[in-house]
Chains A and B, each alone.
Chain A
Amino acid sequence: MKSLKKRELQSNAFLVAVSAVVLGLIAGALLMAVIGSNPFAGFWYLFRGSLMNIERIGNTLATATTLMLVGLSVAFAFRTGLFNIGASGQMLVGGLCATIVAHKVFLPRPLFLAVLIGSALAGGALWGVIPGFLKAKFNVHEVVATIMMNWIAYWSVYYFVPAYLKGPSLETESASIAVSQSLRTGWLTNLFNGSYMNLGFFIAIISVILIKFILDKTTLGFSLKAVGANRFCAEYAGIKVNRNVVISMMIAGGLAGLAGLSFYTGYSRNMQIGVLPSQGFDGIAVALLGASNPIGVFFSALFFGVLQSGKGFMNAMTSVPPEIADTIIAVIIYFTATSVLFKRFWDAVFKRRNNRVNPQEKSVETTPVKEEK
């Protein structure tokens, strides 16, 4: 009984994540109030916009698909102690490869899908493995390297798309992919009343399960996590740290490439130039909020999918600009980064409660909270 009570009254990752989300939503409400809108109406339309009918739920799931794959990419790298801030670039390259395949390759559907998925995986993995290699071989910090790779991808797409994939009307985007060459399928589109829902959702689900399996049940996953926990200890234990760094970045890149696949050939069916996909950064929020756990990523991606997908409807019904969703996500990231604040807060609250519940055990309960270094 006592041990149960003790477990109940401790701050944990879930409580910290919920605190960050609540503060993010409060910040959003304040911002709506500042511009003279009613926050309750704002959130009401935000959630209605993403959930009010089957078509909108489909759109929300399609939005969450991309976030889930990016979040998985960032989370996977986190587990190896790497920060993949280059998911945007990996998305672009994976999406570009997939778009090329969708335009130029004509095969029976199952074979075509395999080639399509393979091309996106390969493109993203290539963009991820370069910073991984630079990190392993030359100790180049992966954060800087992946940012550079983002902009190399951005400008490559910027010039490649108009030159080789130009649509009939606009200079700034590629030609639309035929539905039969995309990830959309008739039965899914019909099931969700003509929404953007596509096969990418199943790719994301399979990826979540696969990554969970790799991390928890395989030697590879164990050594990757060991490198993330303490690379010197891992090296001492005979784990090839550099090899694991390269593999981790390759898989992370591949996952982001799949995110690009789901976005550019499922959700939108064309590529716009001059845009570094913001999902690449939202994915950092997804991974952080999901505590870098595949299951956590799944649920936090759904949550952010709701926010992102409902903002258009909210904007149409109220005077709140759609950027409120991005602001809330950014605030959540900031509060996840400063989560030590909540840990201290909740520890202080629980300490007081524990003392009140068991005053005679005060001396036992007031062991000093370990100061974060």
Chain B
Amino acid sequence: MWNTLVSIFPYAIAYTIPMLMTSLGGLYSERSGVTNLGLEGLMLVGYFASAITIKMSEATLGINALPIGLLVGVAAGAIFSLLHAFASINLKADQVISGTAINMLAAALTVYLARTISGSGNVRIMMGIVRKNIPFLSKIPIIGPLFFSQSYWTTWVCLAIWGLSWILLYKTSFGLRLRACGEHPSAVASAGISVHKMRYFGVAMSGALAGLGGAVILITYSGEFNGTVAGLGFLSIAALIFGQWKPLGILGATFFFGIATTIANVSQVIPSLQVIPPVFFKIFPYVATLLALVLFSKNSAAPKASGEPF
């Protein structure tokens, strides 16, 4: 059992990180008062942009192409999300429909461009990040093998972003203002702060972080753009709800979902798990989210003004 756990843990973490980033992006957006259902599409944009960048530059830049690809993925996600920001903030459009349009547009446009560039629609990169044991820390009993072995450097960057976001959102006056935009925008406006600018920031952050999530998928476990992130963006929205719109909550929720996904993937080769059909692990995050919604519906922690135009 212990050996199984040690061998699947790095995979669970690898699955968790893209979802964590995307979910965190959703947190920024929803906290600022804009519902963003387009996270799946924004992830895909980051996934695609980083794949193209790395493919074009890896011959000359070598391993340095990876961080550059990551940054381009972040930028592409942020830029693409401005479509959603413009529609929902300036034009007061239905945010659910706009988000759906973002998803469809991203899915069609990325594959369209990928097909034009590579013919098949898949963009494969030559190298990914090498997994490394962290010196000293990986020697700590129990948590060493679980958390500090076989890890990607992006994992630590992303966790740092998560920590900094927590500080930004909950320990600074800027964060207070941003969150207030999602609860009571007119109060923020009466304090002389532009609700529109804050919401633009929130949506752009959601695009940037979802783009980062997509790029991380590429350079860690996937290694190839194949035109879909297989519902991870929607799973991130589920994690946002399951985590009750709080940074620690989404960390827990995404990790929970990451473990469930990993177990579902490996359950057929691990005798002790074979008795449970894998479908239960796969649908578990969605059923859990529905149950969480039912349980918390009486006093939902959702930002009150999320989805409301201002």
Which A residues are within 8 Å of any B CB, using their own CB? 31, 35, 83, 85, 134, 138-141, 143-145, 147-152, 154-156, 158-160, 276, 278, 281-282, 284-285, 288, 319, 321, 323-327, 329-331, 333-334, 336-341, 372-373
Whether A337 contacts B283 by the Cβ 8 Å rule is no
User: Which of chain B's residues have a CB closer than 8 A to the CB of A330?
Assistant: 101, 104-105, 107-109
User: Which of chain B's residues have a CB closer than 8 A to the CB of A324?
Assistant: 108, 112
Which residue in A276, A321, A372 is a CB contact (below 8 Å) of B112?
A321
Q: Report if B87 contacts A (CB, 8 A).
A: yes
Q: Report if B189 contacts A (CB, 8 A).
A: no
Q: How many residues of B contact A (CB 8 A)?
A: 44
A235 to B83, CA, bound (A): 37
Taking the closest CB of chain B, its distance from the CB of A321, in whole angstroms, is 4
Whether B279 contacts A326 by the Cβ 8 Å rule is no
Closest to A282 in B: B104
Whether A134 contacts B294 by the Cβ 8 Å rule is yes
Whether A140 contacts B111 by the Cβ 8 Å rule is no
Which residue in B93, B112, B279, B294 is a CB contact (below 8 Å) of A140?
B294
Taking the closest CB of chain A, its distance from the CB of B103, in whole angstroms, is 7
Q: Mark B280-307, 1 if CB is under 8 A from A, else 0.
A: 0011001101100110010000000000
Which residue in B91, B92, B112, B237 is a CB contact (below 8 Å) of A147?
B237
User: Which of chain B's residues have a CB closer than 8 A to the CB of A143?
Assistant: 37, 96
Given A140-B297, A152-B287, A333-B104, also A338-B279 (CB < 8 A): no
Which residue in A151, A159, A160, A327 is a CB contact (below 8 Å) of B234?
A151
Whether B108 contacts A144 by the Cβ 8 Å rule is no
Whether A338 contacts B104 by the Cβ 8 Å rule is no
User: Which of chain B's residues have a CB closer than 8 A to the CB of A156?
Assistant: 279, 283
A334 to B93, CA, bound (A): 9
Which residue in A83, A151, A321 is a CB contact (below 8 Å) of B283?
A151
User: Which of chain A's residues have a CB closer than 8 A to the CB of B279?
Assistant: 155-156, 158-160
Q: Mark B76-105, 1 if CB is under 8 A from A, else 0.
A: 000000010011000111101110111111
User: Which of chain A's residues have a CB closer than 8 A to the CB of B105?
Assistant: 327, 330-331, 334
Q: Report if B163 contacts A (CB, 8 A).
A: no
Taking the closest CB of chain A, its distance from the CB of B244, in whole angstroms, is 13
Which B residues are within 8 Å of any A CB, using their own CB? 37, 83, 86-87, 91-94, 96-98, 100-105, 107-109, 111-112, 115-116, 121, 231, 234-235, 237-238, 241, 277-279, 282-283, 286-287, 289-290, 293-294, 297, 309
A285 to B98, CA, bound (A): 11
User: Which of chain A's residues have a CB closer than 8 A to the CB of B235?
Assistant: 151
Whether B101 contacts A334 by the Cβ 8 Å rule is yes
Interface of B is mostly: helix
User: Which of chain A's residues have a CB closer than 8 A to the CB of B278?
Assistant: 159
User: Which of chain B's residues have a CB closer than 8 A to the CB of A152?
Assistant: 283, 286-287
Whether A323 contacts B108 by the Cβ 8 Å rule is yes
Closest to B289 in A: A148
Q: Which of B93, B94, B121, B289 has the most CB of A within 10 A?
A: B93
Whether A321 contacts B111 by the Cβ 8 Å rule is yes
Which residue in B97, B116, B241 is a CB contact (below 8 Å) of A337?
B97
Whether B286 contacts A148 by the Cβ 8 Å rule is yes
User: Which of chain A's residues have a CB closer than 8 A to the CB of B286?
Assistant: 148-149, 151-152
Interface of A is mostly: helix
Taking the closest CB of chain A, its distance from the CB of B239, in whole angstroms, is 12
Q: Which of A83, A144, A331 has the most CB of B within 10 A?
A: A144
A285 to B108, CA, bound (A): 14
User: Which of chain B's residues have a CB closer than 8 A to the CB of A150?
Assistant: 234
A155 to B91, CA, bound (A): 37
Given A35-B116, A140-B297, also A326-B287 (CB < 8 A): no
Taking the closest CB of chain A, its distance from the CB of B83, in whole angstroms, is 7
A326 to B293, CA, bound (A): 33
Whether B104 contacts A340 by the Cβ 8 Å rule is no
Whether A323 contacts B109 by the Cβ 8 Å rule is yes
A-B contact pairs, 16 of them (CB 8 A): A134-B294, A138-B293, A145-B290, A147-B37, A282-B104, A284-B97, A321-B121, A325-B108, A326-B108, A329-B108, A330-B101, A330-B107, A333-B100, A334-B87, A337-B101, A338-B93
A330 to B99, CA, bound (A): 11
Whether A321 contacts B116 by the Cβ 8 Å rule is yes
User: Which of chain B's residues have a CB closer than 8 A to the CB of A154?
Assistant: 231
A155 to B109, CA, bound (A): 26
9 closest A-B pairs by beta carbon, nearest first, are A326-B108, A330-B104, A330-B105, A321-B115, A334-B101, A155-B282, A323-B112, A159-B279, A333-B101
A288 to B309, CA, bound (A): 20
Q: Which of A134, A155, A337 has the most CB of B within 10 A?
A: A337
Given A333-B100, A334-B87, A337-B87, also A138-B115 (CB < 8 A): no
User: Which of chain A's residues have a CB closer than 8 A to the CB of B289?
Assistant: 144, 148
A334 to B38, CA, bound (A): 12
A114 to B290, CA, bound (A): 33
User: Which of chain A's residues have a CB closer than 8 A to the CB of B234?
Assistant: 147, 150-151
User: Which of chain A's residues have a CB closer than 8 A to the CB of B98?
Assistant: 334, 337-338
User: Which of chain A's residues have a CB closer than 8 A to the CB of B37?
Assistant: 85, 143, 147
User: Which of chain A's residues have a CB closer than 8 A to the CB of B111?
Assistant: 321, 323
A146 to B187, CA, bound (A): 33
User: Which of chain B's residues have a CB closer than 8 A to the CB of A372?
Assistant: 92
Which residue in B96, B116, B231, B293 is a CB contact (below 8 Å) of A145?
B293
Taking the closest CB of chain B, its distance from the CB of A69, in whole angstroms, is 19
A372 to B93, CA, bound (A): 10
Which residue in A285, A323, A337 is a CB contact (below 8 Å) of B93?
A337
User: Which of chain B's residues have a CB closer than 8 A to the CB of A326?
Assistant: 104, 107-108, 112
Given A147-B234, A321-B115, A338-B91, also A327-B108 (CB < 8 A): yes
A243 to B282, CA, bound (A): 32
User: Which of chain A's residues have a CB closer than 8 A to the CB of B287?
Assistant: 148, 152
